[in-house]
Amino acid sequence: MKLYLILASIFFMQLSFAQEVSDSNTPKVWSLEDCISYALENNITVKDATLNKSIAEVDYSKAKSSRLPNLFGSASQNFSSGNTIDPITSDYVTDQIHSTNVGINSSMTLFKGNQLNNEIKQNKILLEQSIFLEEVEKNNIVLNILEVYLQTLYSKENIAIAENNLLASETEEERAKARLDAGTIALSDYTEAQSQTATNKYNVIAAKNDYQQYIIQLKQLLELSPMDDMQVESIDENMDLINLEMDKATVYSKALGILPEIQASNLNIAANEKELDIAKGAFLPTLSLTGSVGSGFTSVNDNTFSDQFDINFNQKLGLSLSIPIFNRNQTKAAVKTAELNIEKAEIQKQSTEKEVYKKVETAYQNALSAQEQVIASEASKIAAEQSYKLAQKKYELGALSTTDLVISQNTFTNAQQNYLQAKYLNILYHQLLQFYQGNDIKL
């Protein structure tokens, strides 16, 4: 009895281990939402945009700190010999002198043509712009994943079509061989069936390769290791078609109000306007407050080191005014450059708006076209399938040549692929229009 219990325990342990190994080797099935969420956390392009935002935060903090006074400490030890001036007492002596100087210096800009305030405002604008630019990169990743994900699903379904065609052609080849052996068909009919089987085998291989290529693209967007296995989750076959009454002008208007690239373009203009204010500030004088405290020791004085530090302790406070008179037209050039950059920023905004309109217009027209293609290709697929089934029956009865059967099969295959392509294009452009209206992308 003990032996049976031991053997049973070993059996169940092995079964449990085999199950764990099987589970660990099962590729993870990724939904579109999983891919998007993971990519937004791990994609290096998004991470780079996030780092740019962090740099903008540092620059903004640095600009605000420019209003504060600076503070420097100094210390020096000197030795001189011969005719010299004592650095502490300023007396003219002929001797060897050891001297020590220590001090603290500070300065603060009181007025600089309002440049400091404008630099702070400009860096705040650039920080806000970096936030929108980060959103632009995130949106680009989302749209790239959407496109590649749907292409992956398309290629996955295309594999099933190719495999079904191969199975049918292998069956037809067997029938053709039997009919050839029976002497009811010519050798050319049998070789035609063989050729179709070989072609369909090639199509299966090509379809699987296309699927793997899209999986690679998807893994790269998600920053997954090449060694990671992944599968994509299929979508609902009964998704609704696009609303034909959708107003593209409304979609475009919403897109202009929500897309981060538009907001970033507006902030780019504002940042360049602040750059113009900064450049003009160089025409105005600069007023600074300076101050210092210090003391020192000299060897030519008979007092002790500590006594001399008390005696020589000094404090200074002063104002410094710098008035620009002529700087070789550098300020004028900076002002002109800033004005031109404002014009460039306005042109860039117009270009961005045109690009958004082009994307919305293209998505809208392609959406309408894809919906009509879905309806037409579905009808074509149904008709081609019925025609192919009828051709198969005729071929079984010997009333149809192998060539005609192959033509019928290829027609049905093309109809299936056209429907599949139209279906996924319909989904793609529907999701794009949802995105441009500020709605979430989900399947």
Residue 50 confidence (pLDDT) above 50: yes
Residue 201 confidence (pLDDT) above 70: yes
Q: Could you tell me which residues come within 8 angstroms of residue 105 by beta carbon, excluding any fewer than 6 positions away?
A: 71, 72, 73, 74, 290, 291, 292
Highest mean pLDDT among 14-18, 21-25, 139-143, 307-311: 139-143
Extract the runs of DSSP E, i.e. beta strands, from 168-285. 230-232
Q: How much is the pLDDT for 11?
A: 47
Contact 303, 311 (CB under 8 A): yes
How does pLDDT run across 103-133, given as a tens digit for each residue? 999 999 999 999 999 999 999 999 999 999 9
Domain positions in the chain are 34-68+113-284+324-436, 83-105+289-323
Confidence of residue 3 (pLDDT cuts 50, 70, 90): very low
The C-alpha angle with vertex 387 and arms to 386 and 389, in degrees rounded to 5, equals: 65
More confident: 435 or 244:
435
Query: Looking at domain 34-68+113-284+324-436, does it have CATH number 1.10.3210.10?
Result: no
How does pLDDT run across 407-438, given as a tens digit for each residue? 999 999 999 999 999 999 999 999 999 999 99
Residue 184 confidence (pLDDT) above 90: no
CA dihedral 133, 138, 141, 142 (to 10 degrees): -130
How does pLDDT run across 136-171, given as a tens digit for each residue? 999 999 999 999 999 999 999 999 999 999 999 999
